[in-house]
Amino acid sequence: MVTGGTGALGSAVVGALLAGGASCVVPYVHDAEAQRFAHRGDPNVRLLAVSDLADEAQVAKVYAGLKPWASVHIAGGFAAGKVAETGKAALMAQIDSNLTSCFLCCRAAVNLMLASGGGRIVNVAARPALEWRSGAGMTAYTVARAGVAALIVALAHEVAKNGILVNSVAPSTMDTPANRKAMPKATCEVWPKVEEVAATILFLASADNRVTRGAIVPVYGKP
């Protein structure tokens, strides 16, 4: 399972998983992303249309009937905004898209993995989840991603005895076309490439990861 799999990082993760012989279920919200998804049509990829991964019923349908070895949760959203300019609706939108969706997908994956004898869960936090001061000007997003970080560590301790290893990566700004367009004057050469972040995710989601749990791995690129 790869939520957010049709995005820039998600596509890199799905590509790496396919190269390793995996089959992937990829839920998507935006039709345009699904249409240009690089792995669309691959026989080992199943695309599922959803409207909201913060909805319990929809998450239950996405995971129904699966026996996943790994569940990778990349889906989320970003919005800048100072606290003085952020109302409750905007705050809850960030919490739902980033934290609630992650929590519900973790819960669905855990229940399936408990029945099958184990597995791997990898969530995506963000640099502000670890370095709160860097989240100034995007506080609602920072709060939501910090919640994801706390979820990872607590859940990892809950389920380690069941053979389920839960970890996360915390990227800084990644080198994507969207980020280059949004920040044309930035030194994008120092940003981590999505393929580099995907490589870390792939290890954490693999059977080669035998002991790492409760980790939030910084993937920041060059200083």
pLDDT tens sequence across 163-191: 999 999 999 999 999 999 999 999 999 99
Q: Minimal CA–CA distance to 1: which of 123, 100, 91, 99?
A: 123
Length of the chain: 223
DSSP class of residue 95? I
**What's the pTM value of the predicted model, to 2 decimals?**
0.95
9: Cβ contacts below 8 Å, ≥ 6 apart: 74, 124, 171, 174, 176, 194, 197, 198
* Burial class of residue 106 (count of CB atoms within 10 Å of its CB; 0-12, 13-18, 19+): buried
Q: Does residue 222 surpass a pLDDT of 90? A: no
2-219 CATH pick, 3.40.50.1220, 3.20.20.60, 3.40.50.300, 3.40.50.720: 3.40.50.720
- DSSP-assigned letter for residue 175: B
Tens of pLDDT, residue by residue over 182-220, are: 999 999 999 999 999 999 999 999 999 999 999 999 999
Q: 205 is written with which tokens?
A: 């989601």
> pLDDT, tens digit, for every residue of 55-74?
999 999 999 999 999 999 99
Per-domain boundaries in the chain? 2-219
Which helix (H) or strand (E) covers residue 10, if one does?
helix 8-19
Closest CA to 66 of 147, 148, 1, 161: 1
Q: Where are the alpha helices (DSSP H) in 56-185?
A: 56-63, 88-94, 101-116, 127-130, 139-159, 177-182
